């Protein structure tokens, strides 16, 4: 966001939400999250689970500073399910989250697009009813009237299905 404010960049991809009156957003990708557990975990054989099934588990999450909206959404979904998660560890990268789950140090909730990481060592499980979601958006300065920015946004809208 600092690069936008300094006018160092014209367009960027960001995880939303972003609250900044200077920045406009166009959602381009949204995905549902899955629970990830070690392969030998009792829940690993289930096709789907409720958030409440995770109430006694130790969570490994991406640090709130790295991805605040997602972190807050996970905590909110846990509270909605009647519990506060036991957070064993916060890390900087999603790959580290899945690696620590594979090592048996806890469970997590991850975007579906990570379901190929450590696939032999973990199980990815659908979350019933209201799973956390993540969204990727294109961001640009609201006051940027550049024809190149407009052309890029038009092209992105055609490919993303956004209006």
Closest among 77, 38, 81 to 58, alpha carbons compared: 38
The pLDDT value recorded for residue 67 is 85
Of the candidate ranges 21-25, 40-44, 84-88, 132-136, the one whose mean pLDDT is the lowest: 132-136
Q: Are residues 112 and 92 in the same domain?
A: yes
Measured at the CA of 107, the angle between CA 119 and CA 41, to 5 degrees, comes to 70
Burial class (CB in 10 A: 0-12, 13-18, 19+), 153: middle
At 155 the three-state DSSP class reads: helix
Task: State the residue range of the domain holding 12.
Answer: 2-28+136-160
pLDDT of 124 = 96
Q: Are residues 81 and 39 in the same domain?
A: yes
User: Does 162 have pLDDT greater than 50?
Assistant: no
Residues 68 and 117 in one domain: yes
pTM: 0.79
Cα dihedral: 124, 81, 103, 36 (round 10): 10
The predicted model gives 132-147 an average pLDDT of 91
- Residue 116: the pLDDT is 82
Domain count, the chain: 2
Backbone angles phi, psi at 133, to 5 degrees: -130, 155
């Amino acid at each position: 966001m600092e690069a936008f404010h300094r006018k160092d960049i014209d367009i960027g991809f960001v995880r939303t939400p972003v609250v900044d009156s200077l920045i406009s957003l166009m959602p381009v990708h949204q995905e549902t999250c899955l629970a990830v557990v070690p392969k030998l975990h009792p829940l690993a054989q289930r096709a789907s689970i409720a958030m409440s099934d995770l109430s006694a588990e130790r969570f490994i999450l991406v640090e709130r500073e790295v991805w605040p909206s997602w972190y807050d959404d996970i905590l909110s979904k846990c509270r909605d399910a009647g519990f506060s998660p036991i957070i064993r560890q916060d890390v900087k990268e999603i790959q580290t989250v899945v690696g620590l789950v594979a090592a048996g140090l806890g469970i997590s909730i991850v975007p579906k697009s990570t379901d190929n990481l450590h696939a032999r060592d973990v199980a990815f499980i659908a979350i019933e009813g209201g799973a956390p979601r993540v969204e990727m958006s294109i961001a640009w300065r609201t006051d940027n009237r550049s024809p190149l920015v407009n052309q890029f946004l038009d092209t992105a809208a055609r490919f993303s299905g956004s209006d």
